[in-house]
Amino acid sequence: MGSWVLNNQTSSQGQSATFNVTAGQPVVLAEWNSTTNTQFFSIPGLNPDGDQHAYLANVNAGQLFTGSPAGYYVGWEDLAAFQGGDFDYNDTQIIVSGVLATPGPTPGVGLAGLAALALFGAARLRRA
């Protein structure tokens, strides 16, 4: 497992991180709610309730807020149904942008690498 790089208590809008992975490497998106000490994953079978906790959609520049980049929007539900989760997927939100691929032996900075931002970075420490 990697490290958590974004914290919803101290990260600011527009803060970014870059991840490099080997092309084709699978990426599982994860979020941690420290209030309930529960982790949720983009694969429903890994979640304590078996539900889907990550929502992914393509977005255009400026679609989410003024100045937001085009990319992949990831929204999270940070509570299980049995914890009162409403599944509106707005508890933690990120945009994965700047997806690049580098040909050749150098690992690319691909969607998987940038999507790892959510795996390693969308740490939800407690509901705001």
Let me know if residue 14 belongs to a domain: no
Let me know if residue 12 belongs to a domain: no
Let me know if residue 16 belongs to a domain: no
> Could you count the other beta carbons within 10 Å of the beta carbon of residue 95?
21
Is beta strand 54-59 parallel, antiparallel or unpaired with respect to 30-33? Answer: unpaired
Let me know if residue 85 belongs to a domain: yes
Let me know if residue 55 belongs to a domain: yes
Q: What is the spatial distance between Cα 107 and Cα 56, in angstroms, rounded to a whole number?
A: 24
| Tens of pLDDT, residues 26-60 | 777 788 888 888 888 888 999 989 999 988 889 99
What is the tally of helices (H) and strands (E) in the chain? 1, 5
Let me know if residue 127 belongs to a domain: no
> Are the C-beta atoms of residues 93 and 73 closer than 8 Å to each other?
yes
Let me know if residue 18 belongs to a domain: no
Let me know if residue 19 belongs to a domain: no
pLDDT of residue 111: 47
**43 burial via Cβ count (<10 Å: 0-12, 13-18, 19+):** middle
Q: What angle do CA 8, 92, 78 make, to 5 degrees?
A: 105
Q: What is the domain range of residue 96?
A: 30-121
Domain count, the chain: 1
pLDDT of residue 51: 92
Task: Collect all residues with Cβ–Cβ distance below 8 Å to 43 and sequence separation of at least 6.
Answer: 28
Average pLDDT over residues 87-103: 75
Q: Which residues pair with residue 40 across a beta bridge?
A: 31
pLDDT of residue 7: 64
